[in-house]
Amino acid sequence: MRILWLDRQLRLQDNPSLALALRTPGPIILLACPWQASNPESQWLPQASGLSLEAWLRAALDLQQQLAKLGQCLNISLEPAQQLIPRLLPPNQSCLLLTDAQYDQQKTQWLTKLPCQTPLPCSIQCLGDNQLLSPEQTRGGAKHIGRFTAFYYLQNQEPLKPELDLHPESIQAQSIDLHWPTKSCRQDWQQPISSSDYQPWLEQYLWHKQQVRHYKQSRNAFLGLGNYSGMSVGLSLGSLSVRHLYQQIRAHEQQLGSNESTQALIYELYWRHYFHWLARQLQARLYAKTPELSPRQASLLQHWCLAQTKHPLINAIQHQLQQTGFISNRARQITASYLVHDLGLPWQYGAVWFEQQLLDYDPASNYGNWAYIAGHHPASQKPHVFDINRQQQRYDPKSEFIRQWQHG
């Protein structure tokens, strides 16, 4: 028996895991269920909004519909993978569990221990994930483990072309009896979530409105969804192929010419790849041990999460995060700097808060960026401090963002 567990690879096109599973003979179950992290830091944090799970469900349902058109069944459950998958492993036959290779410390440890919990042999095979470059293309990067610029110029090569077509052979994925998700799937998203959402979004962003040509100038704005690329949620959920996105940006440059904005967006894709590659190199070292909080620190953390600080800009950022599951990259840097350098709190608590709230949460990028701000990252040992008042004067001089979000 084979089970393909899809957690962060929720797309049909350019999905090596799914393609391999449907081309290999033998019975198979296609399963989409979320991974639920267990962080001790969560006991100090308010309850998560649940928006990220709703976004995951939207992407999973969209993939289910696309697979149904090919005559394939995708089984969906909102039960955490740690609880569901051990029950699905057959007690009387060996099993092969296929999953993506995205590095997450807790997930990796759980997968390592899983075969010991089954009566018969259970093998784990981690297949391809949503990466810009292949492992073979990054073999020489180890000597540049703390220097992104050197890594970038070493690895600045064309990614492999995406596999856009999926041709399942005579394999019929099996249906299993699962409790259907009772959580309603939100429909009024303001940004793309699923694979089907990204088809028109890319058309608008790259070709019709050509907003990509102003990305470098607009990406630090607090308001206006069109100011951001809008790709981060899809890259996180795996509903958008990073290689397909790269090819589309290059196609735009070939027809309309490259500029500093198109190059800046491609540069960000390499930053993402660097953080993912670095997480694999560092493994547990990226997740530094979290110090305990004093009662005063615990109170400061609660006020930061609940938008009850003395800074209107920080409060506005936190209100937007809780209500939408998304804030701009600039807003993330500002509120992270405030938690670490102004409040003096351990950065890991902020990382877990973002993990619980963000629609586009990505383990490597999230923990990597928080450690980077704190000055505890191999890419930079220098603390990155943002002056709140100066940031507001520069990016929200008329207080438009604050007026919209200060009170939620």
**What is the pTM for the complete model shown?**
0.92
**Residues 6+ away with beta carbon under 8 Å from 40:** 290
Q: Which of 39-48, 127-136, 349-358 has the lowest mean pLDDT?
A: 127-136
Helix ranges, 102-214 (H): 105-113, 148-155, 195-202
Each residue of 129-188: pLDDT tens digit?
898 887 777 766 556 566 677 777 665 667 777 766 666 555 677 888 776 665 556 667
How far apart are alpha carbons 206 and 232 in whole angstroms? 15
The domains of the chain, with CATH numbers, are: 1-129 (3.40.50.620), 130-161+197-283 (1.25.40.80), 293-405 (1.10.579.10)
Give the pLDDT band (50/70/90) at residue 308: very high
Q: Strands 74-76, 122-127: parallel, antiparallel or unpaired by DSSP? A: unpaired
Each residue of 244-297: pLDDT tens digit?
999 999 999 999 999 999 999 999 999 898 888 888 887 777 776 788 999 999
